[in-house]
C-alpha cells in the first residue's frame, strides 16, 4: 500500500488536530476544577456572599478556559485546512503545530485556575475587597495565558506561513522540533505563573493594605517565570526561519529534533521552579510588607539560579542547531 503525499498531509493534520485538542483539554479542566472546588469551600464558609463568589468563579474559569479555546481553534483549523500544494514538509509542519498547541495549553490552563480559586477563597475571607481581588485575579491569570498564546502563535505560523522550497531533509525535523520546543517549554511557565498569581490573591485577601506591593512582586515574579517559554519561542523561531542546507544524513535531522526536545523539556523545570519561588515571595510580602525589598532581591537571586538549567538547555540547543 503506497500513501500519496496528499494522504500523508491529511493524516498529519488530523493527528495534529487530535493532539492539540486532546492535550489542550487537560490543563484548563484541572484549573477550572480547582477554581470551582475553592468556590464551594468559600460558599460554605460565607453563604451570604455566594453571589459575589459565584460571579468571581465564573470570571476566573472563563479566563482559564481560554487556553483550551486556543487549542480548539487550532484543532478545527487543522481539521478543515485546505492545503494548496501538499508536500511532506507541510505534513511535518502541521503535526508540529498540533504538538505546539496541545502541550502549550496544559500549563496555562492549570495555572490560571489557581488565582481563580484563591480569589474565591479570599472573597469569603474578606468580602470588602472583592472587586480588588477580581481585578488582581484577572491580571494574574492573563499573564498565565502568555505561554499558551506563544504556542498558538507558533502553531499558526507553522500552519500558514509558506516557507518556500526548503529541502525536505533536514527541514522536516526543524518544523517538528519548533513545535516540540514551544509546546513543552510553555508547560512550566504557565503553571509557575499561576502559582504566583494564586499567592497574590491569597495575600491581598489576608492583608488588603499590601495590595500594591503584592501585585508588583507578583508581576515581576511572573515575568521571570515566563522566561523559559520565551527561550522555547526563540528556539522555535530559529528552527522555523533558518534555512538548513540539504542533507540526507540522519544526524542532520536528529540534531534539529534534539534541539527542539532539549529547550522544550529544559523549560519545564525552571518555569515551575521560578513560579514556586515567586509564590513564596508574594506570600511573604503580604505578611511582612516592611521587608518587601529584601524579599524581591532574594526572589530574583533564587529565580536566576533556578533559571540556569533552562539556559544550559538553550545553549545545547543552539550548539545542536549552529555548530554540529
CA 223 to centroid of chain Cα atoms: 13
Contact window for another protein (CB under 8 A) among 2-10, 156-164, 206-214, 312-320? 312-320
Q: Is 308 one of the binding residues for another protein (CB under 8 A)?
A: yes
Q: Is 263 one of the binding residues for another protein (CB under 8 A)?
A: yes
Q: Is 273 one of the binding residues for another protein (CB under 8 A)?
A: yes
DSSP class of 37: H
87 three-state secondary structure: coil
Residue 279 C-beta: closest distance to another protein, Å: 6
Q: Is 271 one of the binding residues for another protein (CB under 8 A)?
A: yes
Q: Within 182-211, which residues bind another protein (CB under 8 A)?
A: 188, 192
Q: Is 264 one of the binding residues for another protein (CB under 8 A)?
A: yes
Cβ closer to another protein: 113 or 266? 266
Cβ closer to another protein: 82 or 290? 290
Q: Is 262 one of the binding residues for another protein (CB under 8 A)?
A: yes
Q: What are the Cα distances from residue 300, in Å, to 5, 11, 145, 191, 196?
A: 51, 46, 22, 18, 13
Q: Is 306 one of the binding residues for another protein (CB under 8 A)?
A: yes
Q: Is 105 one of the binding residues for another protein (CB under 8 A)?
A: no
Residue 109 C-beta: closest distance to another protein, Å: 19
Count of residues interacting with another protein (CB under 8 A): 63
C-alpha neighbours within 13 Å on the C-beta side of residue 58: 5
Nearest in space to 271 (alpha carbons), one of 179, 202, 158, 195: 195
Could you tell me the three cell numbers for 230? 520565551
Q: Is 242 one of the binding residues for another protein (CB under 8 A)?
A: no
| Dihedral Cα 237, 111, 203, 41, nearest 10 deg | 170
Cβ closer to another protein: 161 or 250? 250
Beta-carbon contacts of 269 under 8 Å, excluding residues fewer than 6 positions away, are 188, 309, 310
Cβ closer to another protein: 62 or 316? 316
The torsion region of residue 164 among left (phi > 0), alpha (psi -120 to 50) and beta comes to: left
Cβ atoms within 10 Å, residue 201: 31
Could you tell me the three cell numbers for 280? 513564596
Q: Is 251 one of the binding residues for another protein (CB under 8 A)?
A: yes
Residue 167 C-beta: closest distance to another protein, Å: 14
Q: Is 320 one of the binding residues for another protein (CB under 8 A)?
A: yes
Q: Where are the beta strands (DSSP E) in the chain?
A: none
Q: Which residues bind another protein (CB under 8 A)?
A: 188, 192, 228, 248-251, 253-255, 257-277, 279-281, 283-285, 287-288, 290-291, 294-295, 298-299, 301-303, 305-310, 312-313, 315-317, 319-320, 323-324
Amino acid at each position: 500500500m503506497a500513501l500519496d503525499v496528499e494522504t500523508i498531509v491529511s493524516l498529519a493534520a488530523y493527528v495534529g488536530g487530535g493532539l492539540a485538542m486532546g492535550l489542550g483539554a487537560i490543563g484548563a479542566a484541572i484549573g477550572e476544577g480547582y477554581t470551582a472546588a475553592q468556590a464551594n469551600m468559600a460558599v460554605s464558609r460565607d453563604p451570604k456572599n455566594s453571589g459575589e463568589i459565584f460571579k468571581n468563579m465564573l470570571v476566573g474559569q472563563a479566563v482559564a478556559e481560554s487556553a483550551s479555546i486556543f487549542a480548539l481553534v487550532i484543532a478545527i483549523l487543522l481539521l478543515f485546512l485546505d492545503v494548496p500544494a501538499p508536500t511532506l514538509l507541510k505534513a511535518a509542519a502541521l503535526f508540529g503545530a498540533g504538538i505546539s498547541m496541545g502541550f502549550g495549553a496544559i500549563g496555562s490552563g492549570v495555572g490560571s485556575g489557581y488565582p481563580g480559586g484563591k480569589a474565591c477563597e479570599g472573597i469569603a475571607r474578606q468580602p470588602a475587597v472583592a472587586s480588588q481581588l477580581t481585578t488582581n485575579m484577572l491580571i494574574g491569570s492573563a499573564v498565565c495565558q502568555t505561554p499558551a498564546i506563544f504556542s498558538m502563535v507558533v502553531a499558526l505560523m507553522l500552519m500558514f506561513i509558506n516557507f518556500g522550497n526548503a529541502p525536505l531533509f533536514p527541514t522536516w525535523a526543524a518544523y517538528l522540533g519548533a513545535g516540540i520546543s514551544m509546546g513543552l517549554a510553555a508547560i512550566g511557565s504557565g503553571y509557575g505563573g499561576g502559582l504566583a498569581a494564586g499567592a497574590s490573591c491569597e495575600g491581598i485577601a489576608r492583608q488588603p493594605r499590601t495590595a500594591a506591593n503584592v501585585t508588583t512582586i507578583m508581576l515581576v515574579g511572573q515575568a521571570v517565570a515566563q522566561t523559559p517559554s520565551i527561550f522555547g519561542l526563540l528556539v522555535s523561531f530559529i528552527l522555523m526561519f533558518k534555512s538548513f542546507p540539504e542533507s540526507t544524513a540522519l544526524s542532520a535531522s536528529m540534531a534539529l529534533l534534539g534541539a527542539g526536545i532539549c529547550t522544550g523539556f529544559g523549560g519545564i523545570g525552571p518555569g515551575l521552579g521560578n513560579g514556586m519561588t515567586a509564590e513564596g515571595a508574594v506570600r511573604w510580602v503580604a505578611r511582612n510588607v516592611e521587608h518587601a525589598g529584601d524579599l524581591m532581591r532574594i526572589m530574583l537571586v533564587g529565580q536566576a539560579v533556578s533559571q540556569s538549567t533552562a539556559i544550559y538547555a538553550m545553549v545545547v540547543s543552539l550548539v545542536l542547531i549552529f555548530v554540529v
